[in-house]
Amino acid sequence: MCISQLSRLKNYIILILFIVFCNLLIAQNNSEIFLTDAALKTPQNFKDVYDRAFGYNEIPVFIKSKSEKTVVLENGYADYRIKNPADWTLIENAVPYQVDVVFTKYPWNKSDWLTNYYDLLSKRLDELFSIDPKLNNPAIKWNLVLQTNCKSEDETRTYFHGIIIKYYIEGEKKPEVTESEKIQPELTFTEAEKYAFKVSAFMDYLGGVTDPGVYNVLSRISGKDNSIVVMDWTASMYTYSAQAIMWHLKNLQRSGIKDFAFFNDGDRKQDLNKIPGETGGIYHVSASQMDSVLILMDKVMQMGSGGDWPENDVEAILSAISMHPEAKQVFLIADNNSAMRDYELISKINKPVHVILCGVDQLINVEYINLAYKTGGSLHTEDEDFYNIGESPDQDNCFLFGQHKYRINENGEITMEMSYDRFWYEEQIKYLQKPEDKKKRVKMPDCPQF
- Percent of the chain residues past pLDDT 90, beyond the cut: 45
What is the identity of the amino acid at 77? Y
Give the H or E element holding residue 230.
strand 227-232
Is the distance from CB of 377 to CB of 346 less than 8 angstroms?
Answer: no
What is the reported pTM? Answer: 0.58
Q: Where are the domains of the chain?
A: 37-169, 189-432
Task: Render pLDDT for 352-405 as a digit per residue (tens, 0 to 9).
Answer: 999 999 999 878 899 999 999 999 999 999 989 999 988 877 767 787 776 778
* Tens of pLDDT, residues 106-118: 876 666 676 788 9
Separation between Cα atoms, residue 132 and residue 221, nearest integer Å = 57
For 90, counting Cβ atoms within 10 Å of its Cβ (0-12 exposed, 13-18 middle, 19+ buried), the class is exposed
* pLDDT tens column, 283-314: 999 898 888 899 889 989 888 766 677 899 99
Q: Is the pLDDT of residue 431 over 50?
A: no
Backbone angles phi, psi at 302, to 5 degrees: -65, -35
Closest to 184 in 3D by CA, of 293, 97, 320: 293
Class of domain 37-169: alpha beta
Average pLDDT, stretch 246-268? 90
C-beta separation of 320 from 261 below 8 A: yes
Class of domain 189-432: alpha beta
Q: What are phi and psi of 286, to 5 degrees?
A: -70, 140
- The angle, 0 to 180 degrees and rounded to 10, between the axes of the packed helices 238-250 and 290-303 is 180
Q: For residue 277, how many C-alpha atoms fall within 13 Å in the half-sphere facing its CB?
A: 7
Confidence of residue 244 (pLDDT cuts 50, 70, 90): very high
Which of 10-19, 182-191, 374-383 tops mean pLDDT? Answer: 374-383
- Give strand pairing partners of 72: 164
Question: What pLDDT does 361 receive?
Answer: 82
CB 405, CB 399: distance < 8 Å: yes
Q: What is the CA radius of gyration of the chain?
A: 26
Q: Which amino acid is at 340?
A: M
Instruction: State mean pLDDT over 417-439.
Output: 47
- 47-82 residues labelled b (16+ CB within 10 A) or e (exposed): eeebbeebbbbbeeebeeeeeebebbbbbeeebbeb
How do residues 136-181 score in pLDDT, each as one tens digit? 999 999 988 888 777 788 888 888 999 999 999 999 988 876 544 3
Query: Is residue 30 over pLDDT 70?
Result: no
